[in-house]
């Protein structure tokens, strides 16, 4: 994702100017959303997650929004420089995005799955 940050930084501008890119990105988003839904359904099937179909659909959209717009939000919110007093390093930006996605999913998880994601989230915050 970091390699294509120019695209994510100017996503609205790029997709509004090029219909072909807009259609391809929309398709990519649909496939990504379907993947998140499939993963969540697998977790529900194993009782590692408790969520209804509408909750899973909303969660998948929220995960995609955070993952897609994180770098822009971080930049305009001033949070990219909060830790160091300077522009955040690429790893820090993506680490924070991963943490935010995990924070969306965690409330739906149960048992060992919840403990694991909380452990991973703590590791991401410590980075």
Residue 49: phi, psi to the nearest 5?
-135, 145
Inter-helix orientation angle 90-105/111-126, to 10°: 160
pLDDT at 101 over 80: yes
CATH of 2-126, one of 1.10.357.10, 1.10.3720.10, 3.40.50.300, 3.40.47.10: 1.10.357.10
Confidence of residue 106 (pLDDT cuts 50, 70, 90): very high
CA atoms within 13 A on the CB side of 102: 19
Give domain limits for the chain. Answer: 2-126
Lowest mean pLDDT, pick from 66-70, 81-85, 111-115: 81-85
Lowest mean pLDDT, pick from 17-21, 114-118, 123-127: 123-127
Arithmetic mean of pLDDT, 88-99: 72
pLDDT, tens only, 1-60: 556 665 666 788 888 898 999 999 899 999 999 999 999 999 999 999 999 999 999 999
- Written as six digits, the tokens of 125 are 């915050």
Q: Report pLDDT for 85.
A: 47
Find out whether 70 and 96 touch, Cβ atoms under 8 Å. yes
Find, among 111, 121, 105, 112, the residue nearest to 51 by Cα.
105
Find, among 51, 42, 48, 32, the residue nearest to 110 by Cα.
48
């Amino acid at each position: 994702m970091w390699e294509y940050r120019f695209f994510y930084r100017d996503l609205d501008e790029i997709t509004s100017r090029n219909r072909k890119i807009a259609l391809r990105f929309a398709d990519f988003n649909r496939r990504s959303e379907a993947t998140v839904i499939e993963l969540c359904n697998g977790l529900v099937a194993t009782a590692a997650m408790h969520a209804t179909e509408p909750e899973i659909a909303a969660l998948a959209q929220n995960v995609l929004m955070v993952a897609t717009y994180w770098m822009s939000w971080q930049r305009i919110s001033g949070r990219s420089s909060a830790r160091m007093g300077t522009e955040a390093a690429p790893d820090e930006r993506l680490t924070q995005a991963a943490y935010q996605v995990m924070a969306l999913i965690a409330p739906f998880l149960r048992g060992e799955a919840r403990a694991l994601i909380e452990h991973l989230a703590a590791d991401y915050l410590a980075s």
